[in-house]
Structure 1
Amino acid sequence: MGAVPSTEGEREPLIVPHNPETSIQHVYSRVYRRRWLVLTLFSLLAFMQGVIWNTWGPIQNSAIQAFHFYKSEIAVLVLWGPVGFLPWLLFMWLMDKKGLRASLLLSTFFMVLGAALRSIPVSEPWLRRWLIHGGQLLNGLAGPTIMSAGPFLSTTWFAPDQRATATAVASLVSYLGAACSFIIGPLLVPAPNDTIHVMVARAAVLTDHHIDDRIQLVLYAELGVVVVLFVAVLFYFPSRPPIPPSVAAASQRLSYRSSICRLLSNFRFLMIALAYSVPTGVVAGWSGVLDMILTPAKVSQVSHQEEYSANKVDAGWIGFWSIVGGCVFGVAMARFADSIRGMLKLILVLMMAGASLASTWFTLTCLTRLTHLPSTAATLYASCILVGIFINSSVPIFFELFIETVYPVPEGITCGVVTFLGNLVCGLLLFFLTFYSTDSSWLNWCLTGSCAFSLLLIICFRESYDRLYLDVFVSV
């Protein structure tokens, strides 16, 4: 559907048989049941990386009272995730040369070390804060592999009619982890009671210690889960199956240096990379400080603890359902893309058009004093959930389109570049937030503008499906 055909030279098979009379169809392929175990283990790691990254945003009020964080310091804790992408070239090189197992082991080790640093119960407040910041940075160093390796894993282990679905699961489960942190944190950590003034100083100290103990419980629990997953990866996580599952998985790929040069010189790739990185980077930073954004709209950290007016809702549940909706819808759309191939651009146009409308609705709802739109629980829930559905569900579709556009560049390198760009956008957004944290309404306008910008780029993009041609037509 509107795809630009490749030239004959680009369609030459990369696996050249020794006998000219033989065909590429003689390349034997096979799928293994263990692929689901590999996908599950990788998904659990991605889930925990998302949980740890988004630990502090949903409980920012409690953390400020217990650890004496500044309000802008919460944005810095979220910022360490994008900062961890700075050495992404090292992780992509390791994945390309040594396989997914080596890169994933290193990333999981950083997660364990980071979770351990955050859990050290030192009494000095300044040292405790530095340990927490260091732990968040180490967890961010796991991001390049966790967020980029989904398409590489799906190509290595899954057949062509399951690749988009596997990519969706591996790519979106980290978002699901971030969503669950909106529930785990506020559920286990009590919010400071702003309505009841504590008259006795001793009572206030006891409240701070209780909040500190509950936060420590969350940190210990996350450390325990990460350690178990590290042991599982250490004892069982093969880099690749004995026999590749498809022709594309068995084909020769470009070298690391050639891949980087080809990506940076491909205008079509840069266009679609911007269409992906700008809205996903903005929405990552936006969701990480969602509680801060919704505070002017009178949204609480925890529901049912205080009597709120009718237009007050739980910020944790808003963040949770917005991301969960995107994950569920993303897997469904990926399954649809697997069954009806060659429609990636059309799917993305529809998704980003919906994201533009939903983000505009949310922005105008937050400006209820100017727009006079009703700021109710229903409108805030609906607009946030729709933003999460449309933007988050587009991630695996974008990944599949990247790979089709630049094939035979390896999947890990391609997705490593675009995830780095997305985290760069997120990092710049959170960097500015540390200076302009008093009024965060400008973040909503950034979200709306990024969705409209992405939609324009996708409409102008010309799609091609070289990898799909190799699997479906050349191998038949």
Structure 2
Amino acid sequence: MGAAESTESTEGEREPLLGPNQPQTNGIVQPVNGRVYARRWVVLALFSALGFLQGLVWNTWGPIQNSAKHAYGFSSTDIAVLVIWGPVGFFPWLLFVWLMDKKGLRASLLLAAFLMVLGAALRIIPLTDLQLRRWLIHGGQLLNGLAGPTLMSAGPLLSTTWFAPDQRATATAVASLVGYLGAACSFLAGPLAVPAPNDTQTVSTTTHWDPEHIRHRIEIVLYAELGAIVLLFAAVLLYFPSRPPIPPSVAAASQRLSYRSSICRLMSNMRFLMIALAYSVPTGVVAGWSGVLDMILTPAKVSQVDAGWIGFWSIVGGCVVGVAMARFADFIRGMLKLLLVLMLAGASLAATWFTLTCLTRLTHLPSTKATLYTSCILVGIFINSSIPIFFELFIETVYPVPEGITCGVVTFLSNLFTGLLLFFLTFYFTELSWLNWCLTGSCLFSLLLVLLFRESYDRLYLDVFVSV
């Protein structure tokens, strides 16, 4: 359904709450035609770099879980809990969303970066007591998870605040997907920097990695992550404006609903709740599933390094395709639902293929490295590339609810499902085929909800028709 065909809101609701002809409100000029600034790319780069590092730190331990067990005495439950601290960090999401709404992007991003610095510092405190060291590592992962509500939900707010309507979806894609790219790079950096434990000995040579050597290599990774986070925190502190002097569009200049009114409106909007579930269930399940991908692929005799490469390319493929789809959506507007249907249909097929391949003893499907690579990468491409399209559809559906509040709600729901999945994993970690079935079911469930969803484009209507 195109922008002009939307019937989900009245003409009065489509009028800008702050008229574009009004010359000044609270000291901020509101022009009819917005203006974009070159510095918007610097703002996007700083935000994206922090999101990248937050995802990198969150997924530090999953790709090297065998080495971490060898070096620190972690159990499979410990690895699952280290991953689960990311979703747990979303429980105070209302506080972070309130801060974003009241104080703006700069204050929110500074707090997120500060929490990341503290978390990364806790993980490198040199204690000889491994039990206490493990507790500090858990605390550091939790503090990093507390930065997630801001970095995972503020992308659409940044794109609306700084970018013109024909660049918004692209900016949203970059800002919202770069955190997943950080998680992907951890699949690559971790196994390459940290040797996998191998206690086998041969006659001619001895291949033995003692725990102290593995621990030393892990600490190199932790120090490198801390250094990068400190540098970015300093950059944000020195330069990160909350908003441009002149808004880039009518929608960016318009007044939004209050914090309390926005929460009430979202919770009472059945269309929003439908599309929020369609987003949060598969993305939440995929996040938990990819966080323990090494454990899932171990029974298929896939090595830690190979599992890392599979996770890396599945997320990188999703990021690349997601940005491409968002750029397409910027050129041809009013087709968000169609794009989502195509992506979720592909995700459902790929997830079914991967699940059946892992059950090769029952299905007799060929279980080779090539089939596992292909099916897993396709799952990541289709699910991750749908994220910015979902975000844009959320904003269009509930406008004039502020972008930060809307995306804060849906990212909390996504991480809630991730947390639930990993919580069950702490009890059922001996046989993991149920995780693959959860993945397939979540994709099919989301596809059904999107097919039943009625789309509308209220923000696009304001920018295209009212500004004209």
TM range (shorter): over 0.9
1:178 aligns with 2:170: no
2:381 is aligned to 389
Q: Partner of 2:221 in structure 1?
A: 218
Change (3 A) 1:17 1:114: closer
**Structure 1 CA distance, aligned partners of 2:240 and 2:269?**
34
| 1:243 and 2:246 are equivalent in the alignment | yes
> 3-state SS of the aligned residue for 1:342?
coil
Alignment correspondent of 1:307: none
Which residue, 151, 158, 162 being the options, matches 2:156?
151
Q: For residue 349 of structure 1, give the secondary structure of its aligned residue in structure 2.
A: helix
Rounded to whole Å, the distance in 1 between the matches of 2:296 and 2:207 is 30
Q: CA–CA distance in 2 between the matches of 1:426 and 1:4?
A: 34
In structure 2, the CA distance between the partners of 1:449 and 1:17, relative to structure 1 (3 Å rule), is closer
Counterparts of 2:202 and 2:297, CA distance in 1:
24
The match for 1:334 among 318, 326, 329 is 326
Alignment length (residue pairs): 458
Matched letter for residue 315 of structure 2: I
Amino acid at match of 2:90: F
Structure 2 counterpart of 1:187, from 182, 186, 192: 192
Structure 1: gaps of 5 or more residues: 303-313
Q: Tell me by how many angstroms 1:194 deviates.
A: 4.9
Aligned ranges for residues 309-388 of structure 1 at < 5 Å?
A: 314-388=306-380
The reply on whether 1:16 has 2:14 as its aligned counterpart is no
- Preserved contact between residue 25 and residue 475 of structure 1 (Cα < 8 Å): no
Corresponding residue to 1:102 among 107, 113, 117: 107
Structure 1 residue ranges, 4+ long, deviating more than 3 angstroms after superposition:
16-19, 194-198
CA shift for structure 1 position 437: 0.5
Q: Name the CA distance, whole Å, in 2 between partners of 1:91 and 1:116.
A: 22
Same amino acid, percent of matched pairs: 82
**Cα distance in 2 between the residues matched to 1:296 and 1:347:** 35
Give me the whole-angstrom Cα distance separating, in 2, the residues matched to 1:26 and 1:402: 26
- What CA distance in whole angstroms lies between the structure 1 residues aligned with 2:20 and 2:183? 47
Name the CA shift for 1:110/1:26 in 2 (closer, same or farther; >3 Å): closer
Structure 2 partner of 1:7: 10
1:130 equivalent in structure 2: 135
Please name the residue that 2:396 is paired with: 404
| Cα shift at 1:12 | 2.2
C-alpha RMSD over aligned residues: 1.8
From 231, 234, 245, the counterpart of 2:234: 231
Say yes or no: does 1:426 pair with 2:418: yes
Letter in 2 for 1:181: S
Residue number among 121, 126, 144 corresponding to 2:126 in the alignment: 121
**Contact 1:272/1:461 (8 A) holds in 2:** yes
Query: For residues 258 and 71 of structure 1, what CA distance do their matches in structure 2 show?
Result: 43
Shift of residue 10 of structure 1?
Answer: 1.8
1:257 aligned to 260, 274, 277, which one?
A: 260
* C-alpha distance in 2 between matches for 1:182 and 1:359: 20
Report SS of the residue matched to 2:82: helix
The AA in structure 2 aligned to 1:291 is D
1:277 and 2:280 correspond: yes
Tell me which amino acid in the other structure corresponds to 1:269: F
* Alpha-carbon distance change, 135 to 453 in structure 1, aligned in 2, over 3 angstroms: same
Aligned residue number for residue 462 of structure 2: 470
Letter in 2 for 1:225: A
Letter paired with 1:80: W
One of 63, 68, 79 as aligned partner of 1:63: 68
Once residues 8 and 32 of structure 1 are traced to their aligned partners in structure 2, the CA distance between those partners, rounded to angstroms, is 31
Cα distance change, pair 26–342 in 1 and its aligned pair in 2 (3 A): same
* Distance in 2 between residues matched to 1:360 and 1:234, nearest whole Å: 46
TM-score w.r.t. structure 1 length? 0.94
Paired amino acid for 2:339: I
Change (3 A) 1:17 1:396: closer
Distance 1:256 1:339 in 2: 32
Deviation at residue 13 of structure 1 after TM alignment:
2.4
197 and 443 in structure 1: CA distance in 2 versus 1, 3 angstrom threshold: farther
**Structure 1 Cα separation of the partners of residues 169 and 126 of structure 2:** 43
